[in-house]
Amino acid sequence: MRISHFYQPWKHFEVSDFISDSEYKEIKKLYKTFPDPRPTNDRVSHKIQNEMLRNRFIELLKWLNIQWSENTHSIHIELDKISPQFKFQIHTDIWTKVLTLIIHISDRGHGTRLYSSTKTFDWRTLVRTMNWTPRGGGGFLRSDETYHSFDTLEDKTMRQTIILTLRLNKDPVTGEDLT
């Protein structure tokens, strides 16, 4: 696994070789067991449990020096299938997400689009699109400035990704259960 750090428009990273070639082939087989979305402008997500992906994500958290605990955090894994002509709005993630990682499974596509959060630019100003890296992907720590979106407007084939998120399951101030 290799990690590259970027700082524009805000701090984020790209990872390559997150999963091996053999793991990649197994995951591609897994995608075939789930139904496809409609041919255009549709998205389907499937929450899964997968020990290999979970352990690899924990390894990444260690490499990134992210402090987390089973008592206050949980790891969520979703397989996403998105048909051509789909567009998700510019947004920041919900406050309970700590870190998001999108792993690219389909052979072609384009990565998450990142938008400016500075006072110089309107927050809708596209600054960078993460590289599309099958078996790898991109991620970031959530903040109020991490405006991003994704789409398949340029794609002719199904976009397949794995979304791994580290989430709070207890309120850090009150200790209240968030699940």
Half-sphere exposure of 20 (CA within 13 A, CB side): 3
pTM: 0.93
Q: Is the dihedral of CA 117, 74, 51, 60 positive or negative?
A: positive
Tell me what pLDDT residue 174 has.
78
Beta bridge partners of 4: 14
- Start-to-end CA distance of the chain, whole Å, equals 31
- For 18-45, the pLDDT digits (tens) are 999 999 999 999 999 999 999 999 999 9
Give all strands (DSSP E) within the chain, no chain letters.
2-6, 12-16, 43-47, 73-82, 87-91, 97-104, 113-115, 126-129, 137-141, 148-151, 159-168
- For 158-176, the pLDDT digits (tens) are 999 999 999 999 777 777 8
Q: How far apart are CA 115 and CA 124, in angstroms?
A: 6
Instruction: Encode the chain (179 residues) as per-residue pLDDT tens digits.
Output: 999 999 999 999 999 999 999 999 999 999 999 999 999 999 999 999 999 999 999 999 999 999 999 988 999 999 999 999 999 999 999 999 999 999 999 999 999 999 987 766 666 789 999 999 999 999 999 999 999 999 999 999 999 999 999 999 977 777 788 77
Tell me what pLDDT residue 122 has.
67
Q: 164 with 103: CB under 8 angstroms? A: yes
